[in-house]
Every structure is written in structure tokens, then in C-alpha cells.
Amino acid sequence: MKKMIKITLLAAVFGLVGLMNTETAKAAGAAETFKFYCAQCHGLEGKGKGPNVTKDFPVTPRDFSNAKEMSKLSDDYIRGIVMDGGPSQSKSPLMPPWGKTISEADVNGLIKHLRGICKCKGKAG
């Protein structure tokens, strides 16, 4: 019986370590996803100053480091605008619809990444 408990505990500890590794891998993936797709307009630091934002760029991309503004946005709003594009939330069509490009799981990772940049939580709903 004692042996069984030991084995179960060991399995649980290894399971937990495995889970932590997955989460770490996910976090690294979100940073890479952000850099590859979003930084073109939002900038590598997420401050809305990517290389596409020239003097001709007609809108100001969201500054993700602005905690005050970011905390007004719910995670669902961000998910919607990333997947379906700016016009789906009455914003500029220059925010592309990424729904056919980035998986929903990766978009969820991106939202966590953005919350890491603003160091803020979104409003509920």
C-alpha cells in the first residue's frame, strides 16, 4: 500500500513538472507569435510603433503598454478583434482578420502576452 502511495505521489510530481514545461513553452510561443504577426504595426515592444506606422498610416495602432486603456478592454473584445479584424469591432480595417491564420489557442496565448505587456487585467465580459 505504502509503495502504491509513493508511486502515485511521484507520478503527480512528474505530472506537475510536465505541465509547467508546457506552460513555459506556450509563453515562449506567444512572444514569438506576437513578434511575427503583430509587431509589424504594434512594434516589438507593443507600443504601437511598428515599421508600418509611417506618416501615411491613417490610424494609431494600440499601445499595449498603456494599462489604463488596456484595462478598459475585455479579453473577449481582444479575441474578437484579432480573429475577425478591426471592422468587427467598429475599428479600422488596417487591423487584419487573423482568424484564418492564427489558431484560437495561439490567440489566447497572445491575449496573455498582451496582459503581460500592460501588466493589467481586462474588464469582465
Residues that bind other proteins (CB under 8 A): 32-33, 35-37, 39-41, 44, 50-54, 56-57, 85-86, 93-101
Nearer to other proteins, 67 or 97 (CB): 97
Residue found under cell 505521489: 9
Nearer to other proteins, 67 or 94 (CB): 94
**Residue 14 CB, nearest distance to other proteins (Å)?**
27
Nearer to other proteins, 27 or 53 (CB): 53
Cell representation of residue 58 = 491613417
**Residue 10 CB, nearest distance to other proteins (Å)?**
33
Q: What is the C-alpha separation between 46 and 64, in angstroms, rounded?
A: 5
Q: What is the C-alpha separation between 23 and 109, in angstroms, rounded?
A: 10
Q: Nearest to residue 114, comparing CAs of 25, 41, 26, 45?
A: 45
**Residue 67 CB, nearest distance to other proteins (Å)?**
24
**Residue 44 CB, nearest distance to other proteins (Å)?**
6
Range 17-41 burial, b when 16+ CB lie within 10 A, else e: eeeeeeeeeeeeebeebbeebbbeb
Nearer to other proteins, 99 or 116 (CB): 99
